[in-house]
């Protein structure tokens, strides 16, 4: 039951991330793959939400609670489900405009967006001196090992 509750909060960001040209650049999923994964993901999430709601209704109808407790649990439970569905809707309809990875700056649109956002002086625009001066391990040939 808990995994059914958590599935949309893992699946929606994954689908949005892999479909986003802003985040993935040239490695983003094609439109056909994105449409197929969103359809499959939506079906999985709809089945899980159905089982969550039907399980809660069965709990309310077949429990041996007093009527007042059933009414209170129903109001509380359906309010929680409303918040849950609102959270899922927020994840689905939220716009991702910020390029968070350097590989995403390979498309002209994401480069233009990065230039526009440079005025924000975010930490992603700062030079990483610790990485630039990092010494990488050298490859050894088989002659060096003998």
The whole-model pTM stands at 0.56
Q: What are φ and ψ of residue 102, in 5° steps?
A: -65, -30
pLDDT band for 116, please (50, 70, 90 cuts). Answer: low
Q: Return the biggest CA–CA distance within the chain.
A: 83
Distance CA 71, CA 93 (A): 33
Note the pLDDT tens digit of each residue in 89-100.
888 888 766 655
pLDDT at 47: 92
CA distance 38 to 33: 8
For residue 103, the Cα-to-chain-centroid distance in whole angstroms is 19
* pLDDT tens track for 32-88: 999 999 999 999 989 988 988 888 888 888 888 888 888 888 889 889 889 988 988
Q: What is the mean pLDDT of residues 2-17?
A: 85
Which is more confidently placed, 113 or 3?
Answer: 3
Half-sphere exposure of 113 (CA within 13 A, CB side): 18
Contact at 8 Å (CB) between 82 and 53? no
Q: Which of 5-9, 25-29, 84-88, 115-119 has the lowest average pLDDT?
A: 115-119
Using alpha carbons, select from 86, 87, 58 the residue that is nearest to residue 73: 58
pLDDT at 130: 64
Q: What is the pLDDT of residues 19-30, one digit of tens each?
A: 888 777 788 889
Give the long-range contacts of residues 53-61, CB within 8 A, separation 24 or more.
53/81, 55/1, 56/81
């Amino acid at each position: 039951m808990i995994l059914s509750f958590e599935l949309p909060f893992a699946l929606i960001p994954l689908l949005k991330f892999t479909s986003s040209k802003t985040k993935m650049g040239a490695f983003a999923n094609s439109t056909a793959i994105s449409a197929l994964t969103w359809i499959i993901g939506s079906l999985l999430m709809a089945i899980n939400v159905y089982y969550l709601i039907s399980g809660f209704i069965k709990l309310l109808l077949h429990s041996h609670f007093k009527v007042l407790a059933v009414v209170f649990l129903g109001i509380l439970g359906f309010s929680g489900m409303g918040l849950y569905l609102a959270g899922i809707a927020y994840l689905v309809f939220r716009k991702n405009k910020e390029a968070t990875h350097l590989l995403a700056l390979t498309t002209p649109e994401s480069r233009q967006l990065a230039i526009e956002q440079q005025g924000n002086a975010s930490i992603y625009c700062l030079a990483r001196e610790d990485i630039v001066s990092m010494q990488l391990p050298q490859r050894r040939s088989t002659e060096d090992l003998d």
